[in-house]
Structure 1
Amino acid sequence: MSFTLATWNINSVRLREPIVLKLLAEEAPDVLCLQECKSPVDKIPLEGFHALGYTHMVARGQKGYNGVAILSKLPIVDAGGEDYAALGHARHVAGKLENGVTIHNFYVPAGGDKPDREINEKFGQKLDYLTEMRDAFHANKPEKSILVGDLNIAPREDDVWDHKKLLKIVSHTPIEVEHLVQTQEAGGFIDITRQDIPEGLLYSWWSYRAKEWDVADKGRRLDHIWGTSDISNAAHSSRVLRTARGWEKPSDHAPVFATFDL
């Protein structure tokens, strides 16, 4: 069985339903994981998705904030969702495919503007969220699993437009990178995107504040696809659909893809 998976922070699934439909029609991934849906589950606009063959969904939602959903052409069953750091946020949902693969879809807290938990509660929440993810993976080692989502951290020097300038900017600080790496290692996850594209600048997010985002190209790779080591060798064809950042009324994130032969 071969399937293609995409992950995308959509920044409101109802507001940006047209470009979700565009992606599904033009790229046709078998599974699409969305973050920051900003919708209760019962308000997610399913009719258009169903018409394109995406008749399966597992999701966690809340009004106006957060929210994660997995849309699938393939049968998928709800495998739970955790509220790490007890924030009361809809930031994680898991689904299990018929081939036994579990897909974890995460929206890790952004962490606010100041990388100091003493003056910025949101930064502390981000670190605590990652710590609880790490501890959960230590306690229950994932197998045959794919973890995707907006993890809100660009870990490598070539995951940002300027490593030195961003060292004190939330999403690329050493303490965040350390927390992310520990979480990845605890779960035995391989960074599939960088397994396929090991060298070079690579971004999935460009700020709305940059009028000419494509020209300035001050991006960060905040969106990730990981696989446990027992299936990571089955992954290939990773890519970022950069052009989606330029679609009408876009998200500030671009979709990230990978294919798995399992």
Structure 2
Amino acid sequence: MSSLPSFPGGTSVTRLSVYSGQCADGLAGGTPHLHTASAEAYVVTGGEGALQTLDASGFHETVLRAGSAVWFTPGTIHRAINYRDLQIVVVMQNAGLPEAGDAIMTFPPEILADPARYAAAAALPADVSPDVLDEAVRLRRDLAVDGFQRLVASAAGGDFSPLQNLYDSAAALVRPRLADWRATWQETVERETRRTEEVFAALERGDGQHLSQSVLLAAPPSDTARWGMCGRLYTHDVAHPLVLAGLSAPARPQSAHSQ
């Protein structure tokens, strides 16, 4: 057990400031989307809003306010609505795969069925002014809102076949990524599960040697925010943490008090 441990549970963490600009339907908020392999949790740290979701049981809306903690499993279409300065800490399963391709936006079905058209609709331009990027984010979001509204309307009428078609398209779109995802999972979640199993076995033997290998780690925030699907993202690189204290920490000069 010599390698550095992953972020607790093999998860990842991001701070999210939900978009305040209005969507095509007059609501302020993020881009509706789903994840195919990973659960995601919202811990609300400030402001007010709502979480709109759609799954095989229908449409739901959940109030979000400071102190709210909600999570949703793969396949749950979700859309963050911002009523007043909604701030969220996002905890993501599988070492951040939700921000590494495990997200499918609810574009209209003719786009979802064509990988090339989907990739073009999902991409944001690089090396452009903030105004141009903001407009691209808005257009992408409104396209997903259009598809989301169609899905909600069909579900309200008892027809869930469009939702199933979306699931089928989502599975097809992410299939080429599975080899990379499996490698990430093996290096984080699976490794940490095996590490815990080893710890249990050691403790059953009365062996606490692993406790002497403890470390204090940190993942500083990114210097700049990213334009995400739901808002501005402030990421923490938990895959490459800094060792602050422990046997793996860099040597530090002794203080006058320790000499």
Which interval holds the TM-score relative to the shorter structure?
under 0.3
The TM-score normalised by the length of structure 1 is 0.26
The TM-score normalised by the length of structure 2 is 0.27
- Answer 1 or 2: higher relative contact order, Cα 8 Å, separation at least 6: 2
